[in-house]
Amino acid sequence: MTKRPLILISPNIEKRGAEFGDLSVSVSATYEQALLDSGALPLVLPATVSRELIADCISRCDGVLLTGGEDVEPRLYGKGLPPKLRRTVTVTPDGGVRDLRELILIDEVFRQRRPLLAICRGHQLLNVALGGTLVADISRQRPRAINHHQMDRCFEVVHEARLTRGSLLAKLTGKQKLGVNSTHHQAIARVAAPFRVAAVSSDGIIEGLELKPSAARLLPFLLSVQFHPERLADRHVEHRAIFRGFTQACLLSRKQ
């Protein structure tokens, strides 16, 4: 029997946990369930910024999942951000330590060449980590955009994304248009050099990234999405296919 691939999940940090009100590691069960249903075994990354420990965790795993959460610290991508825009940004309660942890995690993922799936905040931070920038607040900077901040409908399809023909996302889902949920107020602005757009909404907001063919050697698998497929995977086969494709890539990578 083939062992389930071990997937390292980047956790959120909550202001107040159930025990003593400490800062607490938090992961939505929907990520874990989507991975379990796809045949993987999830493991949560410890709350550390030790490169040695993070590297050790990655070395023991077959793939990495970057999750959603608060906004990326603007100093990482938007020098001189106007005060009005700065006030729209909600950074992590640990003072940006999560940003640092995940930047180290991303660097080690590329160094150790592990398959990577990045979701929502993870999608944005990945782009920043490789030199891209973000729209700090869609409603202020892209006033003609559709409503991408539909938190009360996080388990529902609320709009469509057009998939790039021949992209990894199109191949995995078998779709040219993909119905997605939408719970973000930030988005990709300038795309980092190694990436190409894999999906875009009708208003031009980038919904997916993947490696350019010329950069494909960097990782055995990379898919980055702005939406939350883990919240749709139990009812939509095309979103379930994203996790199954990722899991399969982790199995194949293990054998190489």
Q: Following CA atoms 148, 241, 250, 214 in sequence, which dihedral angle do they give, to the nearest 10 degrees? A: -70
Superfamily of domain 6-255: Class I glutamine amidotransferase (GATase) domain (3.40.50.880)
Tens digit of pLDDT for each residue in 54-95? 999 999 999 999 999 999 999 899 777 888 888 899 888 777
Give the model confidence (pLDDT) of 111-161 as tens digits. 999 999 999 999 999 999 999 999 999 999 999 999 999 999 999 999 999
Comparing 205 with 85, the larger pLDDT belongs to 205
Q: Judge whether 169 and 210 are in contact, CB under 8 Å.
A: yes
Closest-CA residue to 237 (of 121, 157, 163, 165): 157
What's the pTM value of the predicted model, to 2 decimals?
Answer: 0.96
Question: What is the rounded CA–CA span in Å between residue 134 and residue 30?
Answer: 26
Report d(CA 75, CA 157) in Å as an integer: 33
User: Taking residues 179-201, what's their average pLDDT?
Assistant: 97
* Letter string b/e over residues 37-60, b meaning 16 or more CB atoms within 10 A of that residue's CB: ebebebbbbeeebeeeebbebbee
Please give the Cα distance from 149 to 134 (Å, whole number).
Answer: 16
More confident residue, 16 or 195: 195
Q: Where are the domains of the chain?
A: 6-255
Closest Cα to residue 60, out of 131, 100, 5?
Answer: 5
Least confident of 3-17, 164-178, 241-255: 3-17
Residues annotated catalytic, as ranges: 120, 228, 230
Owner of token pair 């493991």: 43
